[in-house]
Amino acid sequence: MRAALHPLLFAPLAACGLTLNVDPVVSDGGTNPPDAAIDSSIAPKDAGEDVADTRPTEDAGLSCNNGQRDGDESAVDCGGSCAKKCGLREACLTTSDCDGTFVCSSSVCAYPTSCKSLLAARPSTPSAVYTLQSTGTSQTFPVGCDMTEDGGGWTLALKIDGKKDTFDYDKPIWTDSSLLGVDHPGNDKVEAKLASFNETSFDDVRLVFFPPSNTLNAVKISISGGSLKDVIAAKTQTNLGRDAWLSLVPTGALQADSCAEGFSVTVGSARVRLGILGNDGNSCGAPDSYIGVGSNAFCGKATRAGNVACWNAGNGGSRDASVFAAVLVR
């Protein structure tokens, strides 16, 4: 099964940041619908749980079609040296026993729980849209996976159009479990909040900016969380520094006193869900600039993702630059 992916959003920009730059393939390993609920008793804890395969090979022509589990098969007439691989919920010893992009987890073929776990189990997996399974709810959902940039294994969570107020700081979309744009889980420029925002745990976050020139810039934040929703609610702070955030907008502007950064940053009336706030005068009493996503109305500007700077003489001048942005986790 295939799903259309827009070639622009994750175009081949390996030198700059995130890409989903291959022909899109939605692969669920078999005939099971991507949104099917899976019995929680076989929900995968994670991929890469293969055990040592000591099975002798069999004569596939003799035993792979006899309706019995024998030879080196992991389930009846599948896995091992059989041409037929095993489907969802069928027994496995290693991921090579499983069909499509299923992984061997807890001795059964299952959907991967993240793009990272899929890449670990199947290292040659290309960037595309794949079906993942939540470890918490056992529900499955399609999501874009970037398997190339910065080691690969990135799971797409958010796509934000800075010209719209969909992701304004005060909108409940940041704190509730609602979804948006689930029919656009891949690399097009359609706003989306995917199930991975609520479900996927991670050790790194990647924020990607796509300015009007389509030159991609990204920063990686090393931080662990059960989900992006949890980390945003916790108002977790970061310490990338002013220069790292400015790298997202090479022609950007940020006041010299960059006084607060991270998730759900609030200083006075200035707020941003992921980014950095800046002020002048060697204080952080009333920031007038930011770089990031999910801001409120700085200086009356409509930009909700990108770079806004007001009264910023000497530090790049004033700016009001909206971008299309993506947030991924790994």
Q: What's the pLDDT tens digit per position in 84-95?
A: 999 999 999 999
CA distances from 224 to 46, 56, 202, 299 (A): 16, 41, 5, 33
Q: In the sheet where 305-309 sits, what is the strand order?
A: 257-267, 270-279, 289-295, 305-309, 319-322
Per residue in 137-188, pLDDT tens? 889 999 999 999 999 999 999 999 999 999 999 999 999 999 999 999 999 9
DSSP code at position 45: S
CB 242, CB 258: distance < 8 Å: yes
Strand-pair category, 257-267 with 202-210 = unpaired
Tell me the pTM.
0.82
What value does the mean pLDDT take over residues 98-121? 98
For 197-256, the pLDDT digits (tens) are 999 999 999 999 987 766 789 999 999 999 999 999 999 999 999 999 999 998 888 988
Element holding 246 (H helix, E strand): helix 242-246
pLDDT band at 48 (very low <50, low <70, confident <90, very high): low
CB 11 within 8 A of CB 19: yes
Q: What is the mean pLDDT of residues 34-47?
A: 45
- Other C-beta atoms closer than 10 Å to the C-beta of 183 total 8
pLDDT at 55 over 90: no
Give the Cα separation of 68 and 246 in Å (integer). Answer: 62
Is the CB of residue 259 less than 8 Å from the CB of residue 271?
A: no
DSSP 134-174: -TTT-BEEEEEEE-SGGGS-EEEEEEEETTSSTT-TTSGGG
Which tokens sit at 119? 């890449």
pLDDT tens, residue by residue, 270-316? 999 999 999 876 677 788 899 999 999 888 888 999 999 987 766 77
**Residue 78, pLDDT above cutoff 60:** yes
Nearest CA to 330 out of 108, 131, 144, 184 is that of: 144
- The residues facing 108 across adjacent strands are 91, 105
311-326 average pLDDT score: 83
pLDDT at 13 over 60: no
Interior/surface letters 255-264, b for 16+ CB within 10 angstroms, e for the rest = bbbbbbbbbb
Q: Evaluate whether 146 touches 130 at the Cβ level (below 8 Å).
A: no
